[in-house]
Structure 1
């Protein structure tokens, strides 16, 4: 199954909007991927909705996860 070029273009546009609206996020991700991402690293995500409800989850990275991250980093090359 191939990728739909129109959807890919729309996704790229959305990503650019996201980067403009949240400029610190890309810098944060860049800092984290410069050494913190290795097997055993725990990534925790906390979401707070407008009413104050909180949702928290975490994952502990495996060797396979690191391989996936490395593949994603190399997409732009």
Structure 2
């Protein structure tokens, strides 16, 4: 991967964190106790015109590794 792309991604992630500070706190809160293989994360999106889209994922061992790496990036920024 291009190092410049990684730098841009890190910058975008910092902006995202600044604009949505509760999301990192949310993942920290569920991180230790709830992030276990088999846990289901459900997401619901409501557009400005009221359309609702829902989905969910069942957490795998690979997902846990990814979330841990993302949390390390957030912690070390």
Task: Place the TM-score, normalised by the shorter chain, in its bin.
Answer: 0.7 to 0.9
RMSD: 1.9
User: Which of 28, 35, 40 is 1:30 aligned to?
Assistant: 28
The number of equivalent residue pairs is 72
Query: Please, which runs of 5 or more residues in structure 1 have no aligned partner?
Result: none
- Structure showing greater radius of gyration is 1
Greater RCO (CA < 8 Å, at least 6 residues apart) = 2
Question: TM-score normalised to the size of structure 2?
Answer: 0.80
Are residue 66 (structure 1) and residue 70 (structure 2) matched?
no
Question: TM-score normalised to the size of structure 1?
Answer: 0.80
Q: Which runs of 4+ in 1 moved over 2 A?
A: 74-77
